[in-house]
Amino acid sequence: MSPESRSQAIAAAVILVVAGLVIYFLPAIVLGIGKFSPVLGFIVGAALLLGFFAIFWLRARYQQRK
């Protein structure tokens, strides 16, 4: 395994683990914030879910430049 592919595999694994933890705790986060403001809870939940896709989109753009 080349150092570049190993680095890419580690980066993907870290991103997936962090995203998995965020998605696992997402209901508790949204419900906690939703006690103060339901709209804010929706916005935070949507931002966390869209952030997962934004990370991979940004990473793909970065890889295209290299």
In a domain, 20, yes or no: yes
Residue 56: inside a domain, yes or no? Answer: yes
Whether the Cβ atoms of residue 26 and residue 45 lie closer than 8 Å to each other: yes
Calculate the CA dihedral of residues 26, 30, 32, 38 and round it to 10 degrees: 180
Host domain of residue 25:
12-65
Residue burial 34-50, b: 16+ Cβ < 10 Å; e: rest: beeeeeebeebbeebee
**CB contact at 8 A, 26 and 44:** no
Paired tokens of 9: 């595999």
- What average pLDDT does the structure give for the chain? 88
Give the pair of three-digit tokens for residue 8.
């890419």
- Indicate if the pLDDT at residue 28 is higher than 90: yes
Q: Is residue 1 part of a domain?
A: no
Mean pLDDT of 11-38: 91
Residue 4 included in any domain: no
**pLDDT score recorded for residue 35:** 94
pTM flag (> 0.85): no
| 59 within domain boundaries | yes
Tell me: pLDDT of 39 over 90. Answer: yes
31 located within any domain: yes
The tally of domains found in the chain comes to 1
